[in-house]
Amino acid sequence: MNINRLALIFVFLLGIFIGVAGGGAAGGVAGYLVSRQTAAEVSATVSALKSQPVTTSAVSPTQPTTGSATVPETVVVSLSDAMVEAVKRVAPAVVTVTVESSTGRGSGSGVIIRNDGYIVTNNHVVDGGQRYFILFADGTRRQARLVGTDSLNDIAVLKVDGEVPGVAQIGDSAALQPGETVLAIGSPLGNFRNTVTAGVVSALNRSVPGSGMEGLIQTDAAINSGNSGGPLINLKGEVVGINTMVVRNDFGFGSSAPVEGLGFAVPSSIFANVADQIIATGQVRYPFLGITYLMIDGEVAAQYNLPVQNGAFISAGLNGQSAVLPDTAAAKAGLREGDIITAVNGQRLDANTSLRQLLLQYRPGDTVELTILRDGKEQNVTVTLGERPSNLR
């Protein structure tokens, strides 16, 4: 009788042990399979990652574990993986643009933005051209026609007939942050097509003196001759800018110090609107206030003793041009020299948002409400926008 009871107890304890051990083993197998499945899912969507590596682990190495828990395999998705996937996504849509004119041949870069063959590049790439050719990433060549240009924002649109090898997705440049990783793709010197360079967003909403351009993305990604017109992309593989210029020692800033890593791109918040207008009508109709102004930053605020750090300060031009042009929308609305525009229809001007960016959301003839600061007091002014004269572009 005692022997039978001992045998029964032994079998009972053995069953418990097997159950616990089996459960732990099953948990370990399940954790491993889940970890592997997670790795596959992350790899499949790595193009949507931001700039920081992602580490997945169900259990921290410092956490105590119970008998039924195991530490699954840790999966690390690196920044370089995200960059590779982003380039794969957009590379088929990047092209080399060759321009023939009476004075010779030039080249630049471009990106296909629609499956019916529309390509965005820079105005200065196609300027003066007579015939245009597109070299695709796979080496095939096709003639293109010029749809229209915009010298103010240095944007042009070309079109090719037939199927295209890829179409880039346009992203939201307003979501960019300084320090965020970005990639430039283009054909430096016209020969090294689909060259990829990497950098960060150095700053947003930049103006380059002498260019007449504002709201630009500043990046330190290497941009060389021939890269103009190519895309600046985020790590989702979306086009957030069109590379337009790089500042070097001969740019006219009066400094002999070496200049490196000063590239600029037209943000998608501007070029997408411009391209849509060119595709629809062959031209761009700009809303026009009729003022000369300075975008305010800390330096401008200090120089003119302004009460705010952001906005558009209405001031006379360097060539003696009136701050408020006669018989324009601004003059009719009663804007004055010294006024500071702080918002358009409630959208504030800030370090990342220029006046031009906000006005490009509207068309000539639209009525908008400007928030202005005058004599230290904020007030609203209703303005019916005019159309920018062609001789000012």
38-43 average pLDDT score = 41
Q: How far apart are CA 3 and CA 136, in angstroms?
A: 86
The pLDDT of residue 71 is 44
124 part of the active site: yes
Task: Assign 42 a pLDDT band (cuts: 50, 70, 90).
Answer: very low
Active-site residue, selected from the candidate residues 47, 109, 154, 202: 154
The tokens for 352 are: 């990342």
273-292 average pLDDT score = 93
* Distance between first and last Cα of the chain: 107
102 part of the active site: no
More confident residue, 46 or 96: 96
Active-site residue, selected from the candidate residues 228, 268, 269, 354: 228
Residue 243 has pLDDT above 60, yes or no: yes
The pLDDT of residue 353 is 85
Q: If DSSP states are collapsed to H, E and C, what string results for the chain?
A: CHHHHHHHHHHHHHHHHHHHHHHHHHHHHHHHHHHHHHHHHHHHCHHHCCCCCEEECCCCCCCCCCCCCCCCCCEEECHHHHHHHHHHHHHHHEEEEEEEECCEEEEEEEEECCCCCEEEECHHHHCCCCEEEEECCCCCEEEEEEEEEECCCCEEEEECCCCCCCCCEECCHHHCCCCCEEEEEECHHHCCCCEEEEEEEEEEEEEECCCCEEEEEEECCCCCCCCCCCEEECCCCEEEEEEEEECCHHHCCCCCCCCCCCEEEEEHHHHHHHHHHHHHHCCCCCEECCECEEECCHHHHHHCCCCCCCCEEECCCCCCCCCECCCCHHHHHCCCCCCEEEEECCEECECCECHHHHHCCCCCCCEEEEEEEECCEEEEEEEECEECCHHHC
Task: Assign 212 a pLDDT band (cuts: 50, 70, 90).
Answer: confident
Domains and CATH numbers, the chain: 49-56+77-284 (2.40.10.120), 287-392 (2.30.42.10)
Task: Assign 392 a pLDDT band (cuts: 50, 70, 90).
Answer: low
The pLDDT of residue 255 is 54
Residue 55 has pLDDT above 70, yes or no: no
The pLDDT of residue 180 is 97
Average pLDDT score over the chain: 82
Active-site residue, selected from the candidate residues 47, 124, 150, 269: 124
More confident residue, 109 or 247: 109
Residue 117 has pLDDT above 50, yes or no: yes
More confident residue, 69 or 308: 308
The torsion region of residue 16 among left (phi > 0), alpha (psi -120 to 50) and beta comes to alpha
323-343 average pLDDT score = 95
The pLDDT of residue 317 is 67
The tokens for 182 are: 């970005």
Q: pTM surpassing 0.85?
A: no
Span 167-183, pLDDT tens digits: 999 999 999 999 999 99
Span 143-160, pLDDT tens digits: 999 999 999 899 999 999
Highest-scoring range by mean pLDDT, 4-13, 15-24, 63-72, 281-290: 281-290
Residue 28 has pLDDT above 50, yes or no: no
Q: How far apart are CA 350 and CA 369, in angstroms?
A: 17
